[in-house]
Amino acid sequence: MNHPSALLRAPAPDRDGPGRSSPLPLVAVCLGYFMVILDVTVVTVALPVIGARMHAGVTGLQWVVDGYTLVFAALLLFCGGLGDRLGGKSVFLGGLVVFTLASAGCALAPTTAVLVLARLVQGLGAALTVPSSLALLRTAYPGRAARARVFGVWGTVAGLAAGAGPVLGGVLVAGLGWRSVFFLNLPVGLAALLLTVRYVPRPPADRSRPGLDLPAQLAAAVCLGGPTTGCIEAGALGPAHPAVLGGFAAGAAGLVAFLVLERRSPAPMLPLTLFRNPAFSASAVIGVLLNAGFYGLLFLAPLYFQQLHHYSALRTGCALLPAVGVVAAGSALAGRLTARTGPRLPMVVGLVVGAAGLAGWLAAGPGTPYAVLVAPMAAAGFGTALTMPAATAA
């Protein structure tokens, strides 16, 4: 999820920073990353309660979930380029500030419209934070073996945050109410800020690069935003509604415009020549497929348990434990295997196991016993956790 140029450069470590073996830079970066990824899924089990308290319809609730990820994804490339030019540490800290303040806005939102707006701002903070995280780790841990290990931890954090979202959300909603889901980010964000300021080395900014390619960024935002808007509004308006079809058409036009602009740009946000590298292309495709499968499962499974089996928010969170409990073991194993054998073996094994787990969900129906879904959830979580750190390292 990082900007390609930030991944390909390996800046020299800050001489004034902590030693190479210090875990504190990793802790600081992972706290911020955990918070950002957690908010992709933590809201899912709270949606029925939010809808009831705020009298929100299905479309409004979809925007609560998808508005965050839409802005997050649409601005990733732009914020990656911003980190290249202004320095990864400055952009990372700015993202933490924006995200933490927006979380407070979500927790205090009086209406659905305000909550959606605050979620959009959260997406901006996430986009500022994530592209810089790997660049900061590369600076703090320049050795190849050390970098493979910390990427394994980084992948573990991503998997734990995504998987723990529904579980933690269920506990918080049952005990403290839905607003506590967002209040949780305030102490985490503050701790990440303080640790980053004190312990994370500062990668050098590349101020010699040309200015940011704003037309290409706008095209990328339209490319991602058009289809997303069409998918969200299709449920309320119908798939043949002009607004829905227009969203998909705008996305296609944005993709064409982005490719043309990037091909002509002297300093593209996403150099298209990178896709000539088989390792880069394969890892990118695998990352897309993994995110679609695992995050899709974590979005749909809570709805399945609550709407078809009538589970409470707390019981839904506990029901997802098989998918979460194996993430730490899978990511830790991936880090060790990648350091010893390279990324190919853990990626292949993880993809096979994860695909088998996702395929097992084809058995899910209104009368399917919970026990039948335990093994598929565990396989999907373990396979994803085994694959993602290796794909990131690749």
- What pLDDT, on a 0 to 100 scale, did the predictor assign at position 165? 78
User: How much is the pLDDT for 15?
Assistant: 38
Say if CB 39 and CB 130 are below 8 A apart. no
Query: Tell me, what's the pLDDT at 394?
Result: 66
Residues 167, 175: Cα–Cα separation, whole Å: 13
Neighbours of 236 (CB within 10 A): 14
CA–CA distance, 10 with 149 (Å, rounded to integer): 16
Q: Which amino acid would we find at residue 135?
A: A
289: tokens are 């497929």
**pLDDT score recorded for residue 211:** 61
Query: What is the Cα 341 distance to its own chain's centre?
Result: 27
CA proximity to 44, closest of 388, 248, 298, 268:
298
pLDDT at 67: 84
Helix/strand/coil for 58? helix
What string of pLDDT tens digits covers the 394 residues of the chain?
Answer: 444 444 434 343 433 344 446 778 888 888 888 888 888 778 877 887 888 888 877 777 778 887 888 888 778 878 877 777 777 788 889 999 999 999 999 999 998 889 999 999 999 999 998 888 877 877 777 767 777 677 767 767 776 777 677 788 888 888 888 899 999 899 999 999 999 888 887 776 665 666 667 788 888 888 888 887 787 777 667 788 888 888 889 889 988 998 888 888 777 777 788 788 887 888 778 877 877 787 778 778 877 888 788 888 788 888 888 887 777 677 777 767 777 777 778 888 888 988 899 888 888 888 888 889 999 988 988 888 888 777 776 6
Q: What is the pLDDT of residue 183?
A: 92
Give the Cβ contact number of residue 334 at 10 Å: 31
